[in-house]
Amino acid sequence: MKPLAVTDHTLASALGVGRAATLAALRDGRSGLARKTFETAALDTWIGEVEGVDAQALPPALADFDCRNNRLAWLGLQADGFAASVARARARFGPRRIGVFLGTSTSGILQTELAYRRRDPATGALPADFRYAQTHNTYSVVDFTRRVLDLEGPSCAVSTACSSSAKVFGHAARLIELGVIDAAVVGGVDSLCLTTLYGFNSLELLSDDICRPWDAQRHGLSLGEAAAFALLERDADTPQAWLRGVGESSDGFHMSSPHPQGAGAAEAMQAALAQAGVAPGEIDYLNLHGTATPNNDSAEDLAVCTVFGDRLPCSSTKGATGHTLGAAGGVEAAIAMLALQHGLMPGGLNRRTPDAALRSRYLDANVEARLRLVASNSFGFGGSNACLVFGAAA
């Protein structure tokens, strides 16, 4: 593919709001996870909650969109001057030539959970002020973002579980290549809710310990929430990074378990490398999907070693942010670009005992080096896989 310019990107996660806060936390080896409760969920677990979400006030004209998910999106869109960068692109290309493609899994389902508590006792009807389309529907965050940024190009929500906000990079790249649009806002937003907390707990995937990717005693994930956005343009003189390749695949194996040999994950990585036109040995760092569930880490390790061998430095940053589900691909793309921009390969957190069965070169501490090419993996339920390759701006 012709490299696409990433002219701006930003994120809000449990590590803080904006690139500087995220980079500082990564440099300090600081996790945003805390043992705490969320809403009425009575679970003993660690959570990556974004501070200040409930205090966000949406503009009066967007009051119908008020929910935790859109307040989180609003928080992210105000960071790092991202909205101003989009305004510049809008002036350059026109609002109809910029698409909006965002990944989410549960979107604003918390708003429906709250509405159910206020059902009419006689009829069971939801309260009249509940607005499903603007707050719960997976497209609501896309519609909200289009209105905030005053964009009128093609738009859609991608909901393929935890690969959602990585796959939107591919969707945007294809439409730009076809000439349908000149630029796109991509990323993902997913906020905490009771459905995900209780759901992952029922699947026995939620850990009562802080998540420990690549640890011999790992036994599950810690849930988080986040918003992440990137602005892709057909070309630019001073980009922050280049999107070089996008690889996507489907395991076609199981509804919730990855292919045990990581076959689909390896295909996604190989496809991303082929699209970027680079050899495996040219990648300097890989941000793993790394959920800290036993099967996922084992399958990903096999896939990484199949494609890259066992010498590529890699790490999972979910010990810092938690698993942000539909936003994870966007968050980790942003972290991969921060790694490129600042020459920082972030060490994975919380690992106490390396799993001897995993052979990839997992980093437990930060490593500073000049990076030219990095990759980021995102895998979702149903075997939905995506890998992104980013190149340095200069």
Q: Where in the sequence numbering do the catalytic residues fall?
A: 162, 289, 323
Q: Which tokens in the block code for residue 385?
A: 């896989």
The conformation of residue 215, written as its DSSP 8-state character, comes to B
Give every CB contact of residue 354 below 8 A, 6+ residues apart in sequence: 214, 215, 216, 362, 364
As beta bridge partners, residue 186 has 101, 230
Q: How far is CA 46 from the centre of its chain?
A: 19
Phi, psi of 349 (to 5 degrees): -100, 155
Annotate 219-283 with DSSP letters as a single string: --B-EE-EEEEEEEES--SS-SEEEEEEEEEE--S-SSSPPTT-HHHHHHHHHHHHHHT--GGG-
Q: Quick count: other Cβ atoms within 10 Å of Cβ 250?
A: 16
CA atoms within 13 A on the CB side of 259: 19
383: its two tokens: 């075997």
Would you say 350 and 212 are in contact if contact means Cβ atoms under 8 Å apart? yes
CB atoms within 10 A of CB 164: 30
E strands, 108-216, in order:
155-158, 183-190
Closest CA to 298 of 256, 347, 260, 350: 260
Residue indicated by tokens 């389902």: 109
Contact 178, 253 (CB under 8 A): no
Q: What is the CA radius of gyration of the chain?
A: 20
